[in-house]
């Protein structure tokens, strides 16, 4: 069955469902049929890992790399995180709920844990983060989606690894749920978790889904959705499973959720900290633009008034005062869904040193930029690393600063290497 026929049949199915479902049910049926990442296919043969350079790349300087397969056999991988204690040991999250370990040296792999998740559209097991004191406490954190009381609910949960230095023979235990967030739709759930250099856990949430931000979460800082949160994973004095840091920007302001670090995001699927300790967020766009932001405390990044540096609602003469613009954006000629990465701190690819690497999930293009000195600066040059026959859902960075990419379609883990 070709994609066009699938699309038409999908629309027919959605219209038929209107007889049985309310308006919100219809919206979720549309998301499930047309918005799931499974419906995308890589452009080209994923077994032939060769780049191509199109007209969109013609004006850009090339950084020539290879994508080297280092592991395979995963199903819809959504995150790659390396153990702080074992140089070749990575944890791979799979969308359907399996948490797998792989030793990239020996090629051995196995299942560390199987989470019970719901995985419609953009839901599932989505993010992993090691505690900064993992060596001493064995704590690890996950972002995953479950059904609770009839609601799609994102959980942030802490688990304890029984053998922190021997992941292949470890088990997870002692789950402690830090946060539950009800998701009105099954897309724009984001999913990343990152500990900052300050030891705090940063949790990015999308606007809750469908399209156009129908619930208005992006510009409603009272809700946790559409925001970047910052919390301590230690319980507070009242018994709450996390603590709101006293230096969060909106503590004591009733107009904002106290967990809020910054707001105005659509779907911050992947983010990381650069060597300067700055939070770099890749926010997935809607109709026209994908954006990269250097996120600062207390700032509003504009969704859904703006998409990137452009008016979204209204389409012209929108508010710009006190809204931060991205440091970089690209349009639909180059891709449709941004996957943020990391600053390359390795030594194998000299031309990538200290550059931020990112990709587009749909088009397979990979780029690198030199981040500006100022969070409100602009990137004036992007380097092309080619267009590849892969669906890059996540990047990972090992203890030596080398970068890896997860191919959602083929289930391969690929290392960026010099050529």
**Which of 299, 302, 238, 295 has the alpha carbon at shortest distance from 266?**
302
Give the mean pLDDT of 20-33: 68
Q: How much of the chain, in percent, has pLDDT values that exceed 90?
A: 88
* 11-15, 68-72, 192-196, 343-347, range with the lowest pLDDT: 11-15
Does the pLDDT at position 12 exceed 50?
no
Which of the four pLDDT bands, split at 50, 70 and 90, describes residue 23? low
The pTM assigned to this predicted structure is 0.94
**Do the Cβ atoms of 366 and 349 come closer than 8 Å?**
no
Most distant pair of Cα atoms in the chain: their distance: 59
pLDDT tens column, 376-404? 999 999 999 999 999 999 999 999 999 99
Q: How much of the chain, in percent, has pLDDT values that exceed 70?
A: 93
Integer Cα distance of 81 and 201 in angstroms: 15
Question: Which residues lie across from 130 on neighbouring strands?
Answer: 140
Which of the four pLDDT bands, split at 50, 70 and 90, describes residue 56? confident
pLDDT tens column, 329-368? 999 999 999 999 999 999 999 999 999 999 999 999 999 9
Does the pLDDT at position 31 exceed 90?
no
Map tokens 């230096």 to a residue.
247
**Do the Cβ atoms of 113 and 146 come closer than 8 Å?**
no
Say how many CA atoms lie within 13 Å of 214 toward its Cβ. 11
* φ, ψ (nearest 5 deg) of residue 40: -85, 145
Cis, bond preceding 304 (omega within 30 deg of 0) = yes
Map tokens 């560390």 to a residue.
112
349: burial class by Cβ within 10 Å (0-12, 13-18, 19+)?
buried
């Amino acid at each position: 069955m070709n994609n066009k026929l699938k699309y038409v049949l999908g629309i027919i199915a959605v219209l038929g469902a209107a007889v049985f479902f309310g308006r919100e049910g219809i919206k979720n049926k549309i998301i499930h049929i047309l918005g799931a990442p499974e419906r995308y296919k890589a452009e080209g043969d994923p077994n032939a890992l060769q780049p191509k350079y199109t007209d969109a790349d013609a004006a850009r300087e090339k950084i020539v790399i290879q994508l080297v397969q280092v592991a395979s056999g995963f199903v819809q991988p959504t995150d790659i995180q390396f153990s702080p204690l074992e140089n070749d040991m990575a944890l791979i999250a799979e969308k359907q709920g399996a948490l797998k370990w792989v030793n990239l040296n020996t090629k051995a792999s196995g299942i560390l844990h199987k989470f019970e998740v719901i995985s419609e559209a953009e839901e599932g097991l989505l993010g992993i983060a090691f505690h900064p004191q993992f060596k001493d406490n064995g704590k690890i954190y996950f972002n995953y989606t479950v059904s609770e009381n009839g609601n799609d609910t994102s959980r942030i949960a802490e688990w304890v690894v029984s053998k922190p230095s021997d992941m292949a023979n470890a088990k997870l235990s002692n789950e402690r749920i830090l946060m539950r967030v009800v998701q009105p739709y099954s897309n724009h759930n984001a999913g990343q978790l990152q500990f900052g250099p300050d030891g705090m856990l940063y949790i990015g949430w999308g606007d809750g889904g469908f399209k156009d931000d129908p619930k208005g979460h992006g510009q409603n800082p009272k809700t946790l959705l559409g925001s970047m949160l910052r919390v301590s994973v230690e319980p507070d004095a009242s018994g709450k499973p996390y603590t709101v840091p006293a230096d969060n920007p909106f503590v004591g302001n009733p107009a904002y959720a106290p967990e809020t670090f910054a707001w105005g995001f659509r779907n911050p699927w992947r983010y990381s900290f650069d060597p300067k300790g700055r939070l770099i967020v890749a926010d997935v766009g809607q109709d026209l633009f994908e954006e990269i932001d250097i996120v600062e405390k207390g700032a509003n990044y504009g969704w859904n008034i703006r998409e990137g540096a452009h008016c979204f609602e209204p389409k012209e003469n929108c508010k710009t005062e006190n809204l931060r613009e991205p440091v970089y954006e690209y349009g639909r000629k180059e891709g449709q869904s941004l996957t943020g990465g990391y600053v390359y701190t390795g030594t194998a690819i000299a031309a990538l040193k200290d550059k931020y690497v990112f990709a587009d999930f749909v088009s397979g293009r990979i780029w690198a930029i030199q981040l500006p000195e100022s969070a409100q600066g602009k990137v004036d040059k992007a380097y092309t690393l080619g267009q590849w026959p892969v669906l890059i859902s996540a990047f990972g960075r090992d203890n030596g600063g080398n970068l890896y990419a997860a191919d959602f379609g083929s289930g391969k883990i690929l290392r960026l290497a010099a050529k």
